[in-house]
Amino acid sequence: MRRPFVAANWKMHKTVQEAVAYARDFAPRVEAVRNVDIVIAPPFLALPALVEATANSRVLVAAQNVHTAPHGAFTGEVSLGMLQGSGVTLVIIGHSERRQLFGETDAGVNTKTRATIDAGLTPIVCVGETLEEREADRTFDVLDRQVRDGLAGLSAGQVAALVVAYEPVWAIGTGRNATPDQADEAHRHIRQQLASQFGDAAAACRVIYGGSVKPGNVAELSARPDVDGALVGGASLDPASFAEIVASSRPATV
């Protein structure tokens, strides 16, 4: 059985004070939700305050990025040791915005994923095709390459414990989510690729969907057998909305 996994990616939103106020509002709303991993990824600056504000709740805290060097002359970067020291337990890696706006590559995703696992944190590895790639019928090729190269060299056990987020770029922030059929098809394909690389670990690895997830569409999406939860941008910025999304997500495999 795969435990549903629902994560908020706040991107570059919320001050430290706003993050703490959100946590105080949100945590009680999901107190009664069982058997779902609930994660919030705020900007770096809010990480320690959010860890503290969610300490006695069911909410886990993720970073949106990481640098793999332990320390050094890397202006503007944050290391895994710094995240660990702040109580962060997960890291989003290879988000399409990082790939498109900051030049991240599959090789870089692989380096970050391996380092994150070595540090004892859980990677949330993002994959997904652009509209141009989908229209050129290259979706599966792109997903295969991102999964193959992004997870190269990992053991089956490591893959079983991480999370893959399928986020079609054309669905991010557009209000146009993938249909349940489109998501299901892509998730099944990703799981096949995982199985070809890692065998039985594919059945344990959670593959979550991201791209215009809202309270009104999450139940239908996560009812599909290969959709194990959601990675939510805009609709996670309001605590009531994100709590509704958490409550509406359903176990993919029971």
Of 144 and 167, the one with the shorter C-beta distance to ligand 13P is 167
Of 173 and 216, the one with the shorter C-beta distance to ligand 13P is 173
3-state secondary structure labels for all residues of 161-225? HCEEEECCHHHCCCCCCCCHHHHHHHHHHHHHHHHHHHCCHHHHCEEEEECCCCCCCHHHHHCCC
The one-letter amino acid code at 104 reads E
How many Å is the Cα radius of gyration of the chain? 17
CA distances from 163 to 23, 151, 206, 207 (A): 23, 11, 5, 6
Task: Report in angstroms how near the CB of residue 173 gets to ligand 13P at its nearest.
Answer: 4
Distance CA 205, CA 7 (A): 16
Of 167 and 228, the one with the shorter C-beta distance to ligand 13P is 167
Of residues 159, 174, 157, the one with CA closest to residue 213: 174
Binding residues for ligand 13P (CB under 6 A): 9, 95, 167, 172-173, 210-213, 231-235
Task: Report in angstroms how near the CB of residue 169 gets to ligand 13P at its nearest.
Answer: 9
Of 233 and 239, the one with the shorter C-beta distance to ligand 13P is 233
Task: Report in angstroms how near the CB of residue 41 gets to ligand 13P at its nearest.
Answer: 8
Nearest residue to ligand 13P by CB is 233
Residues serving a catalytic function are 95, 167
Task: Report in angstroms how near the CB of residue 167 gets to ligand 13P at its nearest.
Answer: 5
